Structure 1
Amino acid sequence: MARARNCPCAAREPRGGLPRHTCMTTSHPTSRPTAAPRTRRRGPLLAAGSVLAVGGVFGAGVLVGQHDAPPSPAPPHSASPASDPFRLANADLAPVDSCEELLASYQERALEVVGPWGWEGGWHHPLLRSPIAELAGPQATAGRADAAAPTPRAATSSATGTNVQEEGVDEPDTVKTDGSLLLRVRDGDLVIHDVTGTAPRELSRTVLPEMEQPEVLLVGDTVVALGTTSPPDSLRDEVDTPATRVVTLDVSDPVAPEVVSETVYDATLVTARQHGDVVRVVVRNDLPDLDFRHPDDDRDARTAQRHNEDQVRASTLADWLPSFVDEADGEAEQAVACADVAVPGATSPLGTLTTVTFHADDARERTTVAVAAATDVAYFSPDRLHLATAPMMSGWGWRRPSDGRFAPDPDEGRSHLYSFALEGTDTAFVASGRVDGSVRDRWSMDSVDGVLRVAVGATTATGNFNSVVTFAEDDGRLVERGRVDRLGVNEEIKAVRWFDDLAFVVTFRQVDPLYAVDLSDPTDPTLLGELKIPGFSEYLHPVGPHRLIGIGQDASRSGALRGAQAALFLVTDLARPRRLDTVTYPEGTQAGAGTDPRQFTWLPERRTALTVVTDGWVGRTAWVSALRLAGGRLHETRTEVAHGHDVGDVRLVPLPSGDVVLVAGDSVEFFDVD
């Protein structure tokens, strides 16, 4: 991967103003140029730049023109083919030849979405759902549901105790274990317990420097802690916006952990993942908060528009690219070199998504790669990073170029996909593509044997149904290989679970269809069968070759929600899935695993699932619901464990000894499963 390199034009001139991955698991030096002191402000994305929970949106295509404020001179960057992360670049994603060209692309694209009131969203608002006329429903195909049909397989927690999406790809959590030690974050402290005795025993408490809602990864004797923080003075904006702090600690002596490194990025934390001893942190910069003016008694709309356009033309790369500070030296540095930033060719809102990669025990030796865009939908497989944009909508299918004229928007209702290969600390672009529809979240994507599988929801570019689409990487392009449509007509996707050759998709409007899709032939995905029942599952977990547990919501036949629900499904015959049993919880309750799968634990030896249930959206009381499978039924017992703000952090961590540690509030204790 290309190294971060010095980019003089970045200095800102002062101005006023499931079989495989359903198992729940576990360089080159970077030069460090110093950036000029920064006084810029970063505000939240407004309208056009909103990045919603279902996913963000990528930047528009490169349009290079003349500017009133030319960037500082800098030599173009070049990278050798061996180190160039974008050597397979294409029209959908390509690097630029210089810092000047990169800045020009940001400015030109920004001029399309700036108006007299600042950033405007009328032409680039993310599309969630649009009512579309009902079409015919899906037709189940039983022809491939035979003895050779694919089957799900059981999944367990990772070596660090976290229920994650992919085997071999660990995720940050509030609790981690190596089997003998249990580490948790509590009130800003890293607390370490010995769990080898008859009861957990606290060994140490270490303050995590200035982090809100920290989570941790455990890599051998190293802890990587990540959270939101206030930027230091050298990165501080005029408007104090959240930054991301990454702290590594040596816990080889668990009684006296030692902070090894602290780094702060002036960007929002999107996610982080661990592959072996390699950690990748993904951060996002949104539209900058420039010194815009609004129409008032002394300024008409045209004058405000001209002023705001001048502010865009006066922006520098420091307004668009992330910077970081290593606490050891306290100097602000540009986080990514111009040559390591690629510009999408799609017409979408702006931002910068940066992936920072390092070995856990040497966090200061980092590599970086970025896309001149913003999104929250990032899915990691063992060897790939896949990004998806949210589809754009104008409301009428038109966009406004910088010349003020309107034109059809070719990306109306379409999501853009970008794939990167992961090897060591290298992150290299391998392919991009587009798909009609919306990608709900990271669970809607999956990658196996070079094939990307995506579950997409309805937009104005599709029918009023959901689809599963497969893509192959072909010389820098994601080429569609096959698809199955008409899943859940007039319904939205609630849950997706992938296996090597099988997918289950749950949709909901009034009833809960559970769809089984055969993916053994990527060129011909086939709907095998469906089950329609009241309510819906928000999280699916395999508990054997022919059974799934679904955690979600009970509902009436009219679609009115009642409370949390657990369901046991039999999928021996994929053409005719069956629901064997359900456990319903009191009215108004919520299932924690529906929004945070880390609140679900499967204990295969005991044939028991542990899941957290709370008393509604306020979540003032939490129970652990133990669901034991026997005789095709769910046998449930319930234990009250937490109250107040602690309910979202309840964890049940299995140990190699067979014990389960319950972490709830201030309590860390063994949980009696039986």
Structure 2
Amino acid sequence: MKTPIRAAVSAVALATAVAGCTSSTGGASPPASPLGAVRLVAYDSCDELLAGLRERAARNVGAYGFGGVMPLSPVAARADAAAESKAYSGAPEHSTTNVHEEGVDEPDMVKTDGDRVLTVTDGTLRVIDTATRKVTSSLKLTEGDAPGVPGDLLVSGDRALVLLRGGDIMYKSVDAMPPGDTRYVLVDLAGTPKVLNTVRTGDSYVDARMVGSTVRLVTRGRPAITFPDPGPDATEAERIKQNQDAVRRAPAEAWLPTVEIADATGAARKESVPCERVSHPADYTGTSMLTVHTIDLARGLTDTGTDPIALAADGDIVYGTGRSLYVASNPRWWL
């Protein structure tokens, strides 16, 4: 029996806002339409997952792979937050990141708690004392990397999650540029800053939100399928047929997201998201997989790692409230 995961449909208002905030590249904009009910359903088994993903992906693969338009309606994955939003209690004593929802923090390259300012630039985390305005400590997180690695921060108490993003930060299409060495570094700020854990997913970073000390981190990946080279004389129909055959031979591991977690010593463990933690909407392409990772900065990473859940859908917009996390896909990015 199929069991729905905890999920919520993105409201019509959200879909309309997504369309309204996107500039047109020419021509009339398609009218917004109600989404109706979207129900996310978990796969019963790995066999069912593989059959469904192969079938959908084979329908949508093109002559040159999975590039091009992603015809998905906006959907939203919901995760109950571990802590509720704090009530607004007047003007703060220090400035914070501008956010859309009170009590839902968003990543930023500068954070402050009033006593210290934290910044991340060129892969280096710096702590600045607000009283003396001097850098009290710094921690290099990207040894061997070229300068200019984009990064953001989320901070709770004496813990920081540094989001260091790979090559696709300016690209909405995963095919446009590989994700590079995207990783998420959990840092202990008590005393001299030190790395507690480093998380790598191999997927593209989408966005993150934090409620209380709990971070929901959204990543996006494509199936790891190598398509054949039919030669320069192959017709488009022949290319598509060979690519469809490659999709139908691909194992479940080609779609299942992986998570690698290293501790302070560098010792790492790598795991795949179990089939039973992957869900799908009624309409999906099988060409993209979203993963929602949960990291409680106060507790740190436990035996469950990032406790990931995955969704066979695409998404490039994240919105959070005190109780829900919404991930929406805007097809007009691909036009």
Query: Shared topology, TM-score over 0.5?
Result: yes
The structural deviation recorded for 1:206 is 0.8
Aligned to 2:62: 115
**What is the one-letter code of the residue matched to 2:251?**
T
The structural deviation recorded for 1:119 is 3.2
Aligned to 2:199: 263
Distance 1:341 1:190, change over 3 A: same
The structural deviation recorded for 1:113 is 1.3
Aligned to 1:226: 163
Aligned to 1:201: 134
Aligned to 1:389: 329
Are 2:182 and 1:247 aligned?
no
Q: Which has the higher helix share?
A: 2
**What is the one-letter code of the residue matched to 1:384?**
S
Aligned to 2:245: 310
The CA deviation string for residues 460-502 of structure 1, in whole angstroms up to 9 with x for no partner, is xxxxxxxxxxxxxxxxxxxxxxxxxxxxxxxxxxxxxxxxxxx
The structural deviation recorded for 1:160 is 6.6
8 A Cα contact 2:154 2:162, kept in partner: yes
Note the 1:659-670 alignment, pairs <5 A. Answer: none
Are 2:93 and 1:169 aligned?
no
The structural deviation recorded for 1:92 is 3.4
Aligned to 1:597: none
8 A Cα contact 1:95 1:339, kept in partner: yes
**What is the one-letter code of the residue matched to 2:217?**
V
The structural deviation recorded for 1:378 is 1.7
8 A Cα contact 1:243 1:268, kept in partner: no
8 A Cα contact 1:292 1:308, kept in partner: yes
CA distance in 1, matches of 2:93, 2:185: 23
Q: TM-score, normalised by structure 1?
A: 0.37
The structural deviation recorded for 1:347 is 4.7
8 A Cα contact 2:150 2:165, kept in partner: yes
**What is the one-letter code of the residue matched to 1:246?**
Y
CA distance in 2, matches of 1:345, 1:222: 39
Note the 1:362-373 alignment, pairs <5 A. Answer: 362-365=299-302, 366-373=306-313
8 A Cα contact 2:181 2:202, kept in partner: yes
The structural deviation recorded for 1:166 is 1.1
8 A Cα contact 1:294 1:301, kept in partner: no
Ranges in structure 2 where 5+ consecutive residues have no aligned partner? 4-20, 24-36, 74-87, 168-176
Are 2:291 and 1:350 aligned?
no
The structural deviation recorded for 1:227 is 1.5
Aligned to 1:59: none
- CA RMSD of the aligned region, Å? 3.3
The structural deviation recorded for 1:315 is 1.4
The structural deviation recorded for 1:272 is 1.1
Distance 1:159 1:273, change over 3 A: farther
CA distance in 2, matches of 1:162, 1:120: 35
The structural deviation recorded for 1:341 is 1.1
**What is the one-letter code of the residue matched to 2:155?**
L
> What is the aligned counterpart of 1:375 among 299, 309, 315?
315
The structural deviation recorded for 1:295 is 5.5
Q: TM-score, normalised by structure 2?
A: 0.71
8 A Cα contact 2:72 2:329, kept in partner: no
CA distance in 1, matches of 2:256, 2:94: 36
Of 260-269 and 156-165, deviating more is 156-165
Q: What secondary structure is seen at the aligned counterpart in 2 of 1:318?
A: helix
The structural deviation recorded for 1:125 is 5.2
Aligned to 1:63: none
Distance 1:310 1:247, change over 3 A: same
CA distance in 1, matches of 2:93, 2:307: 27
The structural deviation recorded for 1:391 is 4.9
CA distance in 2, matches of 1:155, 1:378: 27
Q: Which has the higher strand share?
A: 1
**What is the one-letter code of the residue matched to 1:388?**
A
Total equivalences in the alignment: 270
Distance 1:163 1:116, change over 3 A: closer
CA distance in 2, matches of 1:159, 1:166: 18
CA distance in 1, matches of 2:331, 2:126: 42
8 A Cα contact 2:54 2:286, kept in partner: no
The structural deviation recorded for 1:184 is 0.8
> What is the aligned counterpart of 2:48 among 75, 82, 101?
101
CA distance in 2, matches of 1:216, 1:91: 33
Aligned to 1:192: 127
8 A Cα contact 2:72 2:283, kept in partner: no
Greater gyration radius: 1
CA distance in 1, matches of 2:198, 2:284: 37
Structure of greater relative contact order (alpha carbons < 8 Å, 6+ residues apart): 2
Identity among equivalent pairs (%): 30
**What is the one-letter code of the residue matched to 1:326?**
I
Are 2:39 and 1:92 aligned?
yes
Aligned to 1:292: 228
CA distance in 1, matches of 2:190, 2:122: 23
